[in-house]
Amino acid sequence: ELLPRLAMLRHLGCRILVGVSRKGFIGKLAAAPDPLHRLPGSIAAGLWAIQQGATILRVHDVPATVQALKVWRGIGAIG
What is the per-residue pLDDT across 5-51, written as a single tens digit (0 to 9) for each?
Answer: 998 998 888 999 999 999 999 999 999 999 999 999 999 999 999 99
Confidence category of residue 77, pLDDT binned at 50, 70, 90: confident
pLDDT of residue 57: 97
Could you say which of 5, 10, 15, 23 is catalytic? 23
Does the annotation count 73 as an active-site position?
no
Contact between 47 and 28 (Cβ < 8 Å)? no
Could you say which of 10, 28, 58, 70 is catalytic? 58
Contact between 21 and 61 (Cβ < 8 Å)? yes
Confidence category of residue 78, pLDDT binned at 50, 70, 90: confident
Does the annotation count 28 as an active-site position?
no
Q: Averaged over 49-61, what is the pLDDT?
A: 95
* Burial call 51-64: b when 16+ CB within 10 Å, e when fewer: ebbbeebebebeee
- pTM of the full structure: 0.90
